[in-house]
Structure 1
Amino acid sequence: MSLERVPGLVSIVITVYNKLPFLKDCLTSLLNQTYPNWEVILIDDASTDGSYEYMMNWLNENEPNLREGKGIYTLRLPRNAGYAGAITAGMYLAKGEFIAIQDADDWSHPERFARQVRYLNNHPHIDLLGTNYEVFEDGSPELLKPVHWLKYGDQIGKVYEKGGHCICHGTAMFRGTVFDRIGGHTRRIEGAEDYEFIAKVIKPGARNVDNLREVLYYYRKHPKQRSRDYFGKPKKEQDYDA
């Protein structure tokens, strides 16, 4: 029996592994969303820094602020499954017509989900939609820097055909039916699970992915970023104005 997805619902999947210092900013940005119909799925990947305990306390403290219709669900994995395992577990729990990715150390513009849903509703051929974003150093959120590596429209498929990358994974929203059809992230390319997932979504010869040109996401640079473990300097940091 196929999954009956909830029309209009955005399922926001957040994986958390030792992100305690950043969780307040991330979660508050979700409370501030203008889009009214969402659920958050928090997957704690066996954190050891108190992240899970913080999330539970935050939920208790903010319960009055969670407007009617919101759902926030937490799952604590019994052992560290890695990013691909954790985010795919969250996607399995997602009930929404749309699934959005949010990194635990970043935050989203209040209009992010409203504008992505509007675009996807108006462009039924688009399966996955990213957004423009800005970068800031941890501790200096007021010093935002633009990026210049994203592509738009027909250029996106051409970049991925050549093995390139031009959608910021943390900004992605995609139709739940995409996950139903192709599944989630895999461990085949460790450290580049985000690239592989987006490349897997793109249909050969079809323009079914896009980026919004509006800045709707804010990416935090800090020494404990997972991408630094694999690439030293994350792709998302390479092409912004210094």
Structure 2
Amino acid sequence: MSFQRVPGLVSIVVTVYNKLPYLADCLTSLLNQTYTNWELILVDDASTDGSYDYVMNWLNGNEPLLREGKGIYTLRLPRNIGYAGTITAGMFLAKGEFIAIQDADDLSHPERVAKQVRYLDQHPQIDLLGTNYEVFEDGQPDRKLPVYWLKYGDQIGKVYAEGGHCICHGTAMFRGKVFDQIGGHTRRIEGAEDYEFIVKAIKPGAKNVDNLREVLYYYRKHQKQRSRKYFGKSQQAHDYDA
């Protein structure tokens, strides 16, 4: 018997590894989504800073939400397996017609999920949809800066055909069937798992992916973020030039 996804349900997958200082902002931004048909799947990759305990306390403090029937699920991995394995574990638990990615140190606009679902409903040929986003330095949420590396429409295919990248992984929402068909993130390319996943999702001609031009996501820059480990300041300057 084949797996049947829940129509209209958005499974929001959040991976956590030592992100304690940022979890309150992240979770609150999801709690404030205007789209109400969602489930939250939070996978902790054996954090050592108390992140998992914080999440459990946060959930206990939001019992009214749980009583309203929200699906909020947590999984604590027994050992650290890295980003690719962690996010793929979360996607295996996702029941929704749509799967949305949310990084634990970032924030989503209250209308993010609603507008992405609306666009995907209106454009059945699109399988994966990113959004525009803004960047802010940790501790300076009111000083958000635009980015200029994203592309839209037919331009996306040209960029990926040349080995480039123009969809912000943290903003992505995709149809659950994409995961069912291609699987999750590779563990063979540490540091480029997000790029590889999007490339796998793109069909010939790249007519099945797009970005919304509206800013619906906020990327936090801080010293401990994962991208600095692999790409350093040069990548930061390329991606977030403002």
* TM-score category of the 2 structures, normalised to the smaller one: over 0.9
1:9 aligned partner: 9
Alignment of 1:1-242 (within 5 A): 1-66=1-66, 68-233=68-233, 235=235, 237-240=237-240, 242=242
For 1:55-87, what per-residue CA distance to the aligned partner results, in whole angstroms no more than 9, with x for missing partners?
A: 000000012245723111000000001000000
2:52 and 2:227 map into 1 onto residues whose CA distance is: 22
Q: Unaligned stretches of 5+ in structure 2? A: none
For 1:157-197, what per-residue CA distance to the aligned partner results, in whole angstroms no more than 9, with x for missing partners?
A: 11111110000000000000000000000112110100000
Once the two structures are aligned, what percentage of the paired residues are identical? 83
1:18 and 1:64 map into 2 onto residues whose CA distance is: 27
1:234 and 1:14 map into 2 onto residues whose CA distance is: 27
The verdict on how the C-alpha distance between 1:234 and 1:87 changes in structure 2, with shifts beyond 3 A counting, is: farther
2:211 and 2:221 map into 1 onto residues whose CA distance is: 22
* Matched AA of 2:192: A
Deviation at 1:21, TM superposition (A): 0.1
Secondary structure of the residue aligned to 2:85 is: helix
The verdict on how the C-alpha distance between 1:122 and 1:154 changes in structure 2, with shifts beyond 3 A counting, is: same
2:167 and 2:76 map into 1 onto residues whose CA distance is: 29
Deviation at 1:204, TM superposition (A): 1.2
The verdict on how the C-alpha distance between 1:108 and 1:189 changes in structure 2, with shifts beyond 3 A counting, is: same
Is the 8 Å Cα contact of residues 14 and 43 (structure 2) preserved in structure 1?
Answer: yes
2:161 and 2:93 map into 1 onto residues whose CA distance is: 31
Deviation at 1:227, TM superposition (A): 0.9
Secondary structure of the residue aligned to 1:97 is: strand
Is the 8 Å Cα contact of residues 18 and 47 (structure 1) preserved in structure 2?
Answer: yes
Is the 8 Å Cα contact of residues 156 and 206 (structure 2) preserved in structure 1?
Answer: no
Root-mean-square deviation (Å): 1.3
Is the 8 Å Cα contact of residues 227 and 234 (structure 1) preserved in structure 2?
Answer: no
* Matched AA of 2:233: K
1:235 and 1:170 map into 2 onto residues whose CA distance is: 16
1:114 and 1:198 map into 2 onto residues whose CA distance is: 22
2:199 and 2:236 map into 1 onto residues whose CA distance is: 17
TM-score, scaled relative to structure 2: 0.97
1:67 and 1:235 map into 2 onto residues whose CA distance is: 44
